[in-house]
Amino acid sequence: MEIRQAYQNEAQEIAPLVHEAVGDIADELANSQDKRKVRDLLANLIKREGTRVGHTFIDVVEVNGVIGGIAVSYSGKVLEAANKPTFGFLRRYHDGTPKAIQKNVLPLLQAKEAEEDEYYLDALAVDPKFRGQGLGTALIKHVQEKARKKGFSKASLLVEHGNIGAYRLYKKIGYKVAGKVSMKDMLFTKLIKTL
């Protein structure tokens, strides 16, 4: 098992894992339920540096040369800055259609997901073929270590309301409830861990 930063040319391979991690949010951003369309949108965002899911913010875990999971993480300080190229791309993607942007994009990008003093785990997914092998835990530990090395004393993440399995996992490894975050019509529990 090896954890490393994602490469730009892996965008198509990574997109399904990002889609699995963010689910309805990606569907809303693409204004579509078509998996191929949503994943193409995500692949384009992954290829671009500085977007919320840009390859420079993604770590992958490889098992025998195969990507088995991903973690998208960054400093809470860059959240607003990362929203700008993300919004710019999505505005072009929707051809400037005010209705799609107003209805889907803005409510999601305007949510306050992380504070500046937090290192934010935006997305985490493990390919079903690799589940139960500790890849998710390894990615979480890797992200926490990155946060420590960058001088952060807190790691944060959101768990979608009703995702009991993820909630239990994060509580078990030391995350504590810090509040609620609403994005459009979706409710999330914010969890923080002191590093």
Cα diameter, the chain: 46
Q: What is the mean pLDDT of the chain?
A: 92
Q: Give per-residue pLDDT as tens, 162-188.
A: 999 899 999 999 999 999 999 888 899
pTM of the model: 0.92
Among candidates 69, 45, 71, 76, which has minimal Cα distance to 58? 71
d(CA 90, CA 170): 31
98 CA to centre of own chain? 25
Range of the domain at 182: 2-194
33: three-class secondary structure by DSSP: coil
User: How does residue 100 score in pLDDT terms, banded at 50, 70 and 90?
Assistant: low
Among candidates 48, 43, 45, which has minimal Cα distance to 11? 43
Q: Give per-residue pLDDT as tens, 8-56.
A: 999 999 999 999 999 888 988 888 899 999 999 999 999 999 999 999 9
- In total, how many domains does the chain have? 1
Q: Which CATH number do you get for residue 152?
A: 3.40.630.30
Q: Give per-residue pLDDT as tens, 103-133.
A: 766 766 778 899 999 999 999 999 999 999 9
